[in-house]
Amino acid sequence: LALQPAVDQLKTTVDRYASLLESRSASQVAANLGAAKPVREKMNDEYDEMTTVAFAFSIAAPAAELTTFITKLNKLIDDTNTAYNQSRAQMKVTKGTTSGGKKSEEIRKVESLIAAYEQDAHVTPGVMKFTGLAAGTGSERAYKMVTDDVDNPFWVRIADGKLVDVEFKIQPGEPGGLTVEKLK
């Protein structure tokens, strides 16, 4: 079939891709694939070329050697897809979570109160997002929020089991204001 050089090249590319995926830090943003993205694109092109050639040969001259090749190629593609999907799933699990793999109780509490706040404020459901930033302590603990349709962050706190607006003379994070921390 004269496909051995292409298979070798694909194996090298797959190994390089797997190595790049493993070396990436879990804290990286999923959209920022770094050097893995062009490798994956090249790998997809190689898959397309190899499957096209294999399909053409399977029609023109079916053979046991070709069946073995197709089986191995399918396994290679499945293994690569599995590694990629596992990597993506791991990124989703670790993004915005503690090292234990669970969101902190504080984050869950704030997020659970957003829908009621949106309803009380008469805003479109789902537009309000918690940034993960907090300032202050105790009952004065404040949480930074944003909305999809407004580029104007605002702060809320929890009072009587619901989110309420907070006004600051000096915004948290600014000189003289409260210290801001990223919740995990």
Pairing between strand 128-135 and 142-147? Answer: antiparallel
**Biggest CA pair distance of the chain:** 79
Question: What is the C-alpha to C-alpha distance for residues 110 and 132, in angstroms, rounded to an integer?
Answer: 9
Topology of domain 105-182 in CATH is: Nuclear Transport Factor 2; Chain: A, (3.10.450)
Q: How far apart are CA 61 and CA 75, in angstroms?
A: 22
- CA-closest candidate to residue 135, choices 108, 176, 173: 173
- In the chain, domain spans: 4-94, 105-182
Residue 170 DSSP one-character state: S
Q: What is the pTM of this model?
A: 0.45
Look up tokens 């930033």; give the residue.
Answer: 133
| Angle made by CA atoms 157, 161, 162, in degrees to the nearest 5 | 55
Of 120, 170, 118, give the one whose Cα is nearest residue 149.
Answer: 118
C-beta of residue 21 within 8 angstroms of C-beta of residue 86: no
Tens digit of pLDDT per residue, the chain (184 long)?
678 888 888 888 888 877 776 666 444 544 455 567 777 788 888 888 888 888 888 888 888 888 888 888 888 888 877 777 777 766 665 554 444 455 688 999 999 999 999 888 888 888 888 988 999 888 889 999 888 766 678 899 999 999 999 988 888 888 888 888 888 8
pLDDT value, residue 62: 84
